[in-house]
Amino acid sequence: MRSKIVAGNWKMNKNLAETESLLTELSAKLPDTSAEVMVAPTYINLMEAVRHLESSAIEVIAQNMHFAQNGAYTGEISADMLLNIGVETVIIGHSERRAYFGETDAILAKKVKTALSKSMRSIFCFGEELEDRKADTHFNVVEKQLKNALFSLNANDWSKIVLAYEPVWAIGTGETASPEQAQEMHAFVRKTIAEAYNDDIAANVSILYGGSVKPANAKEIFSKPDVDGGLIGGAALAADDFVAIIKAI
């Protein structure tokens, strides 16, 4: 059975005091939910966030990590470092990492393999650019992203993979894919996985939608049968909005 997930990607926002205050507010307002709730603060505040949420149901996750075990990679963070402070889930392949930091499918494939080798869960992001959608190549683009980074995994590995469909044109733009567009892509992704692996794996992988999810549109998006939750950027930075989105699932 796949799980419902609402994950907040804070990106490069919130200093230490702001992180503590948002976490305190979130913990106090967290509604009863069957969904897994996650937050991804910046690296520098991860350890404090883990401490802060020790007795909370909210999981602290990382926004990125390097594929190497350790070594001469100035500015980078390894899987072991994350595990060492109690972080067991990592976002991999966010479109901002792909676009601004040159992360290719080949690099992302290595990151996912490293996460798996450490039994970490990956939230693997993918999605087309506006030009792809206009050219009607969005299904091909997504299929290629999945194939290149994930389809060399073993069937067993998929229990540690969560997918996040994030059309680039909908991230931070206020433009949301319509619930129908999200459902159409999520169903396509499940079909593609079923063809590459089997129906069981396709049915059990959680597929989140991300891109301008807000309290006002969350319920409709989450009501779609192949949408298992959301990866939330901007609206995760305010406790009331994030809580409203959790309530919508």
Q: Which range, of 55-63, 112-120, 186-194, 233-241, touches ligand PGA by CB under 6 A? A: 233-241
Q: In angstroms, how far is CA 58 from the centroid of its own chain?
A: 15
In angstroms, the CA 115 to CA 121 distance is 7
User: Can you give 21-76 as a three-state secondary structure string?
Assistant: HHHHHHHHHCCCCCCEEEEECCHHHHHHHHHHCCCCCCEECECCCCCCCCCCCCCC
Interaction of residue 122 with ligand PGA, rule CB under 6 A: no
Q: Which range, of 67-75, 129-137, 185-193, 210-218, touches ligand PGA by CB under 6 A? A: 210-218
CB of 212 to ligand PGA, least distance (A): 4
Interaction of residue 172 with ligand PGA, rule CB under 6 A: yes
Interaction of residue 171 with ligand PGA, rule CB under 6 A: yes
**Assign residue 102 a region: left if phi > 0, alpha if psi is -120 to 50, beta otherwise?**
left
Tell which one of 61, 232, 246, 249 touches ligand PGA (CB under 6 A).
Answer: 232
Pick from 180, 226, 210, 179: which is nearest to 91 by CA? 210
Q: Which is nearer to ligand PGA, 19 or 201 (CB)?
A: 19
Q: Which is nearer to ligand PGA, 79 or 235 (CB)?
A: 235
Interaction of residue 9 with ligand PGA, rule CB under 6 A: yes
Q: Which range, of 98-106, 126-134, 151-159, 206-214, touches ligand PGA by CB under 6 A? A: 206-214
